[in-house]
Amino acid sequence: MGRLTLILLTSTLLSSYFHPGRVVDAQSIFTIREVSLSMEPSNDVPRDTNVTVRCRAVVSSLGQEVLNRQYTILKDRVQVYTKTTTSSEDLLYPLPMARAFNSGKYTCQIAIEDKREVSKYQKLTVTGLSKPELHLNKAVVNEGEEVTVRCTAPGETGSIIFYFYEDSKEIKEEQVSSNYAETKIRFTSTGIHKCHCAYTVVVVPDAFRSEQSNIVTVSVKEIPYTPVLEILPIYKIYEGDTLDISCSLRRPQYNSQSTQLILSQGTQLLSSGTKDKLNHSLVALAKHSGEFECRLEIGNVVKVAKKNVSVTELFSLPTLTMSPVEVFPREPLTLICKSESLASERLHKEELTYTLEPSDAYLIPRGAGVFQGKALNADFNYTCTATAKGIMKQSKILTVRPKLPVSAPKITVLSKVILGRPFEILCNSSTGTLPINYTLLHDYMPMDMITVKQPYEEARFTVTITRTDDISKYICQANNGRKELSRRLDATVIVPLSHPTLTVVPTLGEIYEGDHLYLICGVQGTPPVTFKWYRVGNENPLYSTTSNSNNTDYQVKDLAKHHSGMYFCEAINPANTAVGSNPVTIEVRMALWKKALIGGICLLVLAVLALLFVLYYRSKRGRREAAAELSVKPSSPKSDDSLRLNLTHDTEVYNAATVRVDRAVTSVWSERPPEAANDEETSMMSNEPDVEYTEVVHTRAVDSAQVPLKKGTDTVYSELQNAPHGATDPHDYGSVEYAELNGEKPEINHSYTEVNNYQDLPVPVD
């Protein structure tokens, strides 16, 4: 099924492609599977080998359609061959008689319609170069005559560099794109000369060097022409002597070849011409010492004759000096012109004269070469001339630059002046000729000196002061031959801040709620001062201010308990050093009115308590007195057991010391019945046992027939005599009942019955 579909597709494409009535442009279906390149017979071959570059392309296509293949051969990325073919066979690119120039990296590219493929590169190396050949147009030449030289590299192509040698020394180099090169060589010396050549084939990035060519011998003959140089006098020459110089040509007779003579000394041309002889005369000077040259030019041939001449000076070149070396305007000066050496055998000292130029320089001659006068206000140039026997020599220019007196220097500071820290002092004069010596004085005593030699230099002194008044003791002195003093140094001295103190108003221990607190921070130092207040535990300042005073305050209004804590202040001034105070602990106490209120409440409570205590005490005392005044009522004698039973019925026993009687008015102890006293005395005088008293409180029901009682109780005291064991009771005391009738009914405690000993009863009053 798949084959049938492929056949139908192929037939459809072919029919649509070849059908004349169709406009659809069909494309071939193919793929380039592989492109490869190879070298035959090898990648490394010797020269003159026939090399074939083979390019193979493997292409797969649908059907038998014809595909146009475009092959391109590239050498070192440069196209060297291209061909278009419909054949599927390999492309062959021949390199017959391969040379070094054919060496390189080759690649093959194939293009079919819009598809392209490139092979991997193959490097071809061709070893060996042909031997170069050297040819000269003449074997025998005259000196100075040119010879044409030709060097050939047989069979080589490409970029070639040829080298030419004379007596094994390279004399020329020529680069050409052919296999030969020509040049001209001139032989300047006579004799036998040997010439050869070589070449290099350049194949980027390589270069191949050939062997040496054949050697060609050239014979160079000397031409019969000779220049002759003569200088008179022959012996020692002094300045002022006349020099006679001749430059002539010596040649064979009847030779009509044109010649050129040139007479010169260094770069100075003295004479020239086509005659056979040149003559030149001059007065000898020291500058004429040196080499003279007579030059003969015949066509391209040059011959030279040379001689050295030494001229002795009559006197040396004068020098102009000034004394003193430095002067100020309108100050006296002396200019001295002098030649240091003389040829005494030819010249006497008196024969040498000196003149000063310009002549109107306001300087007067004061002897041989001595000129005196005053310096001008501006710069001025002078020269002097020494003359003897017609020889004049001029000195170099001397520029007299009168020194500009230094102006009074200004003394300033270059930075802040902080007590106890180094700072810089600048001394500077606006005018004055350099160099200037600046000296720093303290109380007119030299401290240091700096020499300023260049315009951009400054005199800076580093000092430190320990007292504020020391600043005005500094003075600067400038000296460039003239001395000037500055004014005293005037600058603000910044005193670093002392350790600040934090003062609290009101004083510590007297700070109460609702007060206004003032934290006063004070320092010693130069204002302005920036003050900051902090609370310990908080990094940000509570308040900050800058003041021209040495102290200021921070106010906290309406103090409350939460304002309690530790506070400190910090101060900083232009000395840029922050100092902090010791922390102060602030304790906000309770307001006085609150204390007064609390005190009043406490006093009121104490008063109430005192009143209650007094009432309690009086109640207790009144009950005792009432008990003492009660009458003793007799009762039928009963046994102790029956009495206790009667007393415990509906009764409560109270301890006389603890019974609370409210609002007691009358004490019954104030009146004592006589019989009670008699009984007491009888009892006290008898030897009866101890009597035990028991306070019994009877709770009585209210009887309408009886007199109503308000808040009262009947108190019954029973005296019980304890008979000794085994004895009968001789007395029948019965019971004693004390009744207290009060206007109000006392409180009755019904909780317990308490029986106390008699010692708790009130003591009867006699």
- Quick one: three-class SS letters along 704-763? CCCCCCCCCCEEEEEEEECCCCCCCCCCCCCCCCCCCCCCCCCCCCCCCCCCCCHHHCCC
Instruction: Kindly tell me if the per-residue pLDDT of 726 is higher than 60.
Output: no
Which residue type does 376 have? L
Q: Are 69 and 55 in contact (CB under 8 A)?
A: no
Q: Residue 552's CB: how many other CB atoms inside 10 A?
A: 20
CA distance 473 to 467: 11
Tokens 């290099």 identify what position? 200
Pick left, alpha or beta for residue 369 (phi over 0 → left; psi -120 to 50 → alpha; otherwise beta).
left
Position of tokens 């090898």? 42
Q: Is 528 exposed, middle or buried (0-12, 13-18, 19+ CB in 10 A)?
A: exposed
- Band of residue 711 on the pLDDT scale cut at 50, 70, 90: very low
| Percent of the chain whose pLDDT exceeds 90 | 44
Strand 44-46 to 122-127 pairing: parallel
CB 245 within 8 A of CB 262: no
pLDDT at residue 225, as a whole number:
83
Amino acid at 89: E
DSSP structure class, residue 466: S
Q: Name which of 235-249, 607-621, 628-642 the model is least confident about.
A: 628-642
- Give Cα 115 to chain centroid, integer Å: 61
Average of per-residue pLDDT across 89-98: 92
DSSP 315: B
- Lowest mean pLDDT segment, chosen from 88-102, 432-446, 520-534, 665-679: 665-679
Name the nearest CA neighbour of 608 among 620, 598, 600, 618. 600
The answer to whether residue 638 scores a pLDDT higher than 60 is: no
Report whether 67 contacts 30 (CB < 8 A).
yes
Give the three-class secondary structure for 236.
coil
Q: Give residue-wise pLDDT tens across range 212-271.
A: 999 999 999 888 888 999 999 988 899 888 999 999 988 765 565 678 899 999 889 999
Categorize the per-residue pLDDT at 287 as very low, low, confident or very high, splitting at 50, 70 and 90: confident
Q: What pLDDT score was predicted for residue 105?
A: 93
**Whether residue 523 has pLDDT greater than 80:** yes
Q: Which residue has the higher pLDDT, 372 or 642?
A: 372
Q: pLDDT tens, 430-468? A: 999 899 999 999 999 999 999 999 988 999 999 999 998
Q: How confident is the model at residue 520, as a pLDDT?
A: 93
- 57 residue type, one letter: A
Residue 471 β-bridge partners = none
Report the distance separating Cα 307 and Cα 718, nearest Å: 182
For 369, which DSSP code? T
pLDDT score of 174: 93
Which stretch, 10-14, 186-190, 256-260, has highest mean pLDDT?
186-190
Q: What percent helix, strand, coil does the chain show, rounded to 5?
A: 15, 45, 45
Do the Cβ atoms of 32 and 57 come closer than 8 Å? yes
Per-residue model confidence as pLDDT tens digits over 342-385: 888 888 888 999 999 887 778 889 888 999 999 888 888 999 99
What confidence category does residue 508 fall into, taking pLDDT thresholds of 50, 70 and 90?
A: confident
- Residues 465-487, mean pLDDT to the nearest whole number: 93
In order, the DSSP letters of 97-121 are T--GGG-EEEEEEEEETTEEEEPPP
Q: Looking at residues 575-595, what average pLDDT do you find?
A: 84
Domains in the chain, CATH or no CATH each: 31-126 (2.60.40.10), 130-221 (2.60.40.10), 226-312 (2.60.40.10), 319-400 (2.60.40.10), 410-494 (2.60.40.10), 501-589 (2.60.40.10), 617-760 (no CATH)
What integer is the mean pLDDT of 603-610?
A: 90
The rounded percent of the chain whose pLDDT value lies above 70 is 78
525-552 mean pLDDT: 90
Q: What average pLDDT does the segment 160-168 reach?
A: 93
Nearest CA-CA partner of 101 in 55, 153, 54, 151: 153
**Euclidean distance between CA atoms 657 and 652, whole angstroms:** 15
Distance of CA 739 to the CA centre of its chain: 112
The mean-pLDDT minimum among 46-60, 202-216, 604-618, 728-742 falls in 728-742
What pLDDT is attached to residue 362?
80
Better pLDDT: 426 or 2: 426
Q: Is the pLDDT of residue 506 over 80?
A: yes
Report the pLDDT value the prediction gives residue 530, as an integer from 0 to 100: 93
Average pLDDT, the chain: 79
Cβ atoms < 10 Å from Cβ of 75: 21
pTM: 0.43
For residue range 684-695, list pLDDT tens digits in order: 333 444 434 434
Residue 122 banded pLDDT, cuts 50, 70, 90? very high
Q: Identify the band that residue 107 occupies on the pLDDT scale cut at 50, 70 and 90.
A: very high
CA-angle at 659, arms to 655 and 662, nearest 5°: 170
State yes or no: pLDDT of 710 exceeds 80: no
Q: What is the pLDDT of residue 110?
A: 94
pLDDT of the residue at 729: 42
Q: Give me the DSSP letters along 166-205.
A: ETTEEEEEEEESSSEEEEEEE--S-EEEEEEEEEEEEETT
Report the C-alpha gap between 151 and 148 in whole angstroms: 10
Q: How confident is the model at residue 752 (pLDDT cuts 50, 70, 90)?
A: very low
Contact between 63 and 26 (Cβ < 8 Å) = no
Q: Cβ–Cβ contacts within 10 Å for residue 512, how many? A: 15
